[in-house]
Structure 1
Amino acid sequence: MDTAHASHTTTKLGVEPFLELSRHYPVIDVRTSAEFAKGHIPGAMNIPLFSNEERAIIGTTYKQVGQREAMLLGLEIVGPKMRHLIEHIQTVATERTLLLHCWRGGMRSESVAWLAGLFGYRCYTLRRGYKGFRNYVLQMLELPSRLLILGGKTGSGKTEILQVLKQQGEQVIDLEGLAHHKGSSFGALGEADQPSQQQFENELAMQWRQLNLQRPVWLEDESRHIGKLSIP
């Protein structure tokens, strides 16, 4: 097996090129399930390198003993999982190209990229990881824009009007749809659970980046909160 070749199969990317490639290749988030649940890149799949408990133990070891012992403990934990990890990757990345990230673009994503590289995968990792993506999201939501607000009483058909405007070529953001909420009188009746605040912001930013901000953007008139979520 040509491990020297495998070491050249990983490329670090900034957020924009990473997101562009994500239109064509799977994104694998190797953080813990708890980190993923708090917020993730829309469309990403969670294949955690460590469980929530394992990450906590490694973090404690790092603080109390040092980096070397924490790394050795990580190797001890990951070793028996390597076959399962690569088999899981093979089920979701059939084209031998995948995008990977962890929290800060460090050892977790680099380790999984190295493993996937041994099996012939071309890997792209996210520079500064999910933390960098979150900074990008917050910057995206600060961009100046021309907002047109559609008002009216609850149940008066504002959502339907926005759908017609969208069909006519207008730029529309459905905040209630992103928030999985039907309005103040109807609440979340028949809807999936609301996303976390982070995930709401992530989904909103990914729609926002697709818009031409030189043109107006239609929104439904909302209070500062939609259910448990705050509008950024």
Structure 2
Amino acid sequence: MAFTLNTLPADEFLQLRASLPLADVRSPGEYVSGHIPGAVNIPLFDDAQRAEVGTVYRREGNARAVVRGIDLTAPGMSGKLKSGLKLAAGGKLLVYCWRGGMRSEAMAWLFSLGGIEPLVLTGGYKAYRNHILGDLGRERNYIILGGLTGSGKTGILRRMKSAGEQVTDLEGLASHRGSAFGALGQALQPSSEHFANMLYDDLNAHRADSPVWLEDESRNIGTVFMPDPFFDRIQSAPVIALMMSIETRMPRLVREYTSFPVEEIMASVVKISKRLGGDRARETLDALKRGDYPTAIRVILEYYDKSYHYGLSKRPQGQVIYINTETDDEDVNTVLVMQAAEGLR
């Protein structure tokens, strides 16, 4: 029986993820750089094979590249089919490659030999990326929770989420807490590409009739850069900025940072020494060496506070709602934030 390739556009393909498993048939390196969340990698070529076939294509043309590809992959075809059979559900499997071309077609044919009905993404991963980047730039009802470093914003957002508010945790998705010290105690960061993929899923899990809360971030969170359409969109969202003194924030930050090896903290200070300035950097490092965390933290906060105040001052008049508080009690401050947001709903 002739093989018929069944293809789906990105929106329909993504809707089926809730009920069908997903196979990414690109090379392992492509998969690691970024993939559709939930996809399992069943590569037609490994990284070396992909590079070799690409070289043959450029030097000798398409036909020779196809022949070389068959030579390289034929010994492993049974293993790929077994992986597909193990992954498929109800005899069906979603499949994609980079452009929806020969790799996905070849793997779809292979899976069909085992009785699987493959559904291939039209235009492949490239079409998926175009789809999600367009979606990330669309208008949504965002509210940004801002505030000075150490004001407990992440904890407040967790409390709001527990109370039923819609929250997208940008720092959680990026595996970084946003400052020069944000990598401490965190897992390896995803690529900027894969961050955007996860962000799309997170935002589309929210209801359209209620606002989505985000923490105020710069364009990059550690090594992760937010997608431009999304970052540009949230720049116009209202900001609720929690303001408290250094003295109020100090106990929280001392607790947090004394839990990390001092060598790691000092290494983070060195990374921003040019921005801090030589004198402040030396003062901070000297304080850390003698275990004087309050002095070190105060120097760092003075730098970050000045930078954050400047950033807020650049926003249009009326975009920022300031909340002045004299406590770092997250329950109290959550109530203050929710009260301030009443007029934004």
**Is the 2:26–2:41 contact (alpha carbons within 8 Å) kept by the matching residues of 1?**
yes
The letter for the 2-side match of 1:112 is M
Q: Give unpaired runs (5+ residues) of structure 2.
A: 228-345
**Is the 2:145–2:215 contact (alpha carbons within 8 Å) kept by the matching residues of 1?**
yes
With a CA cutoff of 8 Å and minimum separation of 6, indicate the structure with the bigger relative contact order. Answer: 1
Deviations 1:101-158 (A, max 9, x none): 0000011111111111111101110000000001012101110122211112333221
**Is the 1:148–1:217 contact (alpha carbons within 8 Å) kept by the matching residues of 2?**
yes
The letter for the 1-side match of 2:25 is V
Query: Cα RMSD over matched residues?
Result: 1.6
State the match for 2:25 in structure 1. 30
Identity rate of aligned residues, in percent?
Answer: 47
CA distance in 2, matches of 1:184, 1:42: 26
Of residues 88-97 and 67-76 in structure 1, the stretch that sits farther from structure 2 once superposed is: 88-97
State the match for 2:73 in structure 1. 78
CA distance in 1, matches of 2:48, 2:9: 30
TM-score, normalization by structure 2? 0.63
Establish whether residue 199 from structure 1 lines up as the match of residue 233 from structure 2. Answer: no
Residues 94 and 213 of structure 1: CA distance in aligned 2, closer, same or farther (over 3 Å): closer
TM-score, normalization by structure 1? 0.92
State the match for 1:62 in structure 2. 57
State the match for 2:245 in structure 1. none
Please report how far the alpha carbon of residue 214 of structure 1 lies from its aligned counterpart in structure 2 after TM superposition: 4.9
State the match for 2:141 in structure 1. 146
1:130 to 105, 125, 128: 125
1:104 to 81, 99, 107: 99
Please report how far the alpha carbon of residue 186 of structure 1 lies from its aligned counterpart in structure 2 after TM superposition: 4.2
Establish whether residue 167 from structure 1 lines up as the match of residue 138 from structure 2. Answer: no
Larger Rg: 2
Please report how far the alpha carbon of residue 213 of structure 1 lies from its aligned counterpart in structure 2 after TM superposition: 4.1
State the match for 2:10 in structure 1. 15
The letter for the 2-side match of 1:69 is R
State the match for 1:39 in structure 2. 34
2:45 to 50, 58, 73: 50
2:218 to 209, 214, 223: 223
The letter for the 1-side match of 2:8 is L
The letter for the 1-side match of 2:35 is H
Q: Give unpaired runs (5+ residues) of structure 1.
A: none
Please report how far the alpha carbon of residue 63 of structure 1 lies from its aligned counterpart in structure 2 after TM superposition: 1.3
Aligned residues: 227
CA distance in 1, matches of 2:56, 2:99: 19
Superposed, 1:179-198 pairs within 5 Å as: 179-184=174-179, 186-198=181-193
SS of corresponding position for 2:189: coil
CA distance in 2, matches of 1:142, 1:93: 33
CA distance in 2, matches of 1:222, 1:67: 47
CA distance in 2, matches of 1:25, 1:156: 43
CA distance in 2, matches of 1:13, 1:162: 37
Deviations 1:178-221 (A, max 9, x none): 00113426422222100001001111112222334453221111
Runs of 4+ in structure 1 off by over 4 angstroms are none
**Is the 1:171–1:211 contact (alpha carbons within 8 Å) kept by the matching residues of 2?**
yes
